[in-house]
Amino acid sequence: MKFSLIMATVGRTQEIERYLASLNAQTYRDFELIIVDQNPDDRVEDLLKHQRSSYPILHLCSEPGVSRARNIGIEHATGEVIGFPDDDCWYPLDFLERIARYLCKYPEMDGISGRVTDEAGSFDARFDRTSGLLEPSKVWLRTAAVATFVRREAAGKIGGFDEKLGPGSGMIWGGGEDIEYALRAISNGLNIYYDPALVVFHPHALAAGYGEMSGRAYSYGAGIGRVWRKHDYPIRLVAYSLLRPVGGAVLALLSARQDKARYHWSGFRGRFKGWLSGK
């Protein structure tokens, strides 16, 4: 069982080196790496010139957009299983081996997803602690692109990522592309199993501080809101998800945390804007 690992990248070098090191250390060896480079410079090409790897690396270039990059990677993938690592994530030693073992044991499953955490284990609060199939009511708790792997046949049924969603899309909808992809998998009758014991390491975005993340909270929230509208989420779930960041903003103000309050309020504004944007 061969993996095709599709990584979109822009603006990073050391983080890619860390990911490549984690691939070199994998106990499972049947995989290819497809790097879709969206940098305006040659940093990735220069990095690869000095890398010694025991697996094939395909280096492609594209215009900006993580969804666009993943779709280009899917077109070039030759593996039976497709994954979508971020350029700043990394894997435990037996990560790919565990996925291969599961998919070989359960051929009726179309894919598998896991949770995301930082090295300290503090970046996984939103993920479900119980295992089970992805379903619309729990997809938000059980999937992230960086920890999702699908069989190639399943990827064909799902179709590509929505290129209007996600970082670099050129639209206001700067997130939600992975959730939307998973929802289409579900609507196509595919079975993707969530296992919280399957962990991908990824830096915590809020490590930079709330003050630096308000813009991202807005754009990511707008993407989430658009996914709600596109997939006709019930108004009660939309209302609940809109009220949560409002509550977070109020609590932050009561604690004199204006930076945190702005972050949560930006998230609310983005979600509401995305939900109003239509399908």
176-207: buried (b, 16+ CB within 10 Å) or exposed (e) per residue?
A: bbbbbbbbbbbeeebebbbbbebbbbbeeeee
pLDDT the model gives residue 52: 78
pLDDT the model gives residue 80: 98
- Which residue from 142, 136, 135 is spatially nearest to 115, judged by alpha carbons? 142
Residue 207 predicted with pLDDT over 60: no
Which domains, from first to last, does the chain contain?
Answer: 3-203 (3.90.550.10), 209-276 (no CATH)
Q: What would the two tokens of residue 37 be?
A: 């480079």
194 CB-side CA count, 13 A: 23
For residue 139, what are the CA distances in angstroms to 100, 120, 130, 164, 187? Answer: 22, 24, 13, 20, 12
Tell me the pLDDT tens digit for each residue of 45-95: 999 998 878 899 999 999 999 999 999 999 999 999 999 999 999 999 999
The DSSP code sequence of 137-154 is: TTHHHH--GGGEEEEHHH
Of 203 and 192, more confident:
192
| 104 φ/ψ sector (left φ>0, alpha ψ -120 to 50, else beta) | alpha
pLDDT the model gives residue 125: 66
pLDDT the model gives residue 73: 98
Tell me the pLDDT tens digit for each residue of 121-149: 765 667 899 999 999 989 999 999 999 99
Q: What are φ and ψ of residue 173, in 5° steps?
A: -90, 80
pLDDT the model gives residue 208: 59
pLDDT the model gives residue 252: 81
Q: What would the two tokens of residue 45 be?
A: 């090409």
Tell me the pLDDT tens digit for each residue of 17-57: 999 999 999 999 999 999 999 999 999 999 999 887 889 99
Beta strand pairing status for 81-83 and 148-151?
A: antiparallel
pLDDT the model gives residue 200: 96
Residue 258 predicted with pLDDT over 90: no
pLDDT the model gives residue 209: 66
The mean pLDDT value for 9-24 works out to 95
**What confidence category does residue 253 fall into, taking pLDDT thresholds of 50, 70 and 90?**
confident
Residue type, 19: Y
What does the angle CA 50 – CA 54 – CA 58 come to, to the nearest 5 degrees?
70
Across the chain, mean pLDDT equals 92
86 CB-side CA count, 13 A: 19
Lowest-pLDDT choice from 104-108, 116-120, 161-165: 116-120
Query: Quick check: 203 and 252 in contact, CB under 8 A?
Result: no
79-91: buried (b, 16+ CB within 10 Å) or exposed (e) per residue?
A: bebbbbbbbbbbb
Residue type, 41: D
* DSSP letter assigned to residue 123: S
